[in-house]
Homo-oligomer: A and B are copies of this chain.
Amino acid sequence: MRLISGLKNTPSRLAILSVLEKGKYPLDALQVYKAVKNNTDLATVYRTLETFSENGLVDKFDLEEGKYRYEIKKKHHHHLVCEACGRIEDIFSNDVFALEKEIKSKYEFLVKRHALEFFGLCRSCQK
């Protein structure tokens, strides 16, 4: 299968990682839990996702849904969230970094990370 950084290589972890790798869009904990066909406890799913996030294997983020979503790690990016159909699309633009520099000098705030999500209507939902 696949090794995971320095962590123990358990069946649950492999299964969860596989689910995330196959995921076409970011999943929440319950979706992951169901996808591994209940062979793993929900608490374990949460703990594993947290571990993966801490170890840089997945990205954890928040789309203002009252819960978190998890996505296999990829190049730094943001999301387009359709308010009509819920479709989530990746965008890899990063003009935000210019803003970050400005913040650093103007506010003397050390930016370590940022979250940027766009909400609106995807192409097909505009019709």
| Chain A positions near chain B (C-beta within 8 angstroms) | 61-62, 64, 66, 68, 80, 82-83, 89, 91, 93, 95-96, 98-100, 102-103, 107-123, 126
Which of these, B66, B103, B108, B120, contacts A110 with CB under 8 Å? B120
Q: Given A62-B62, A117-B115, A110–B96 Cβ distance below 8 Å?
A: no
Q: Given A83-B112, A109-B123, A112-B83, A91–B118 Cβ distance below 8 Å?
A: no
Q: Given A93-B103, A103-B91, A121–B117 Cβ distance below 8 Å?
A: no
Q: Complex formed: what's the CA distance from A91 to B116 in Å?
A: 14
The count of identical subunits is 2
Q: Given A80-B107, A80-B109, A64–B115 Cβ distance below 8 Å?
A: yes
Q: Given A95-B98, A123-B109, A118–B89 Cβ distance below 8 Å?
A: no
Distance of A105 from chain B, by nearest CB (Å): 12
CB neighbours (8 Å) of A118 from chain B are: 100, 103, 109, 111, 113-114
Q: Complex formed: what's the CA distance from A116 to B117 in Å?
A: 7
Q: Cβ of A108 and Cβ of B123 under 8 Å apart?
A: yes
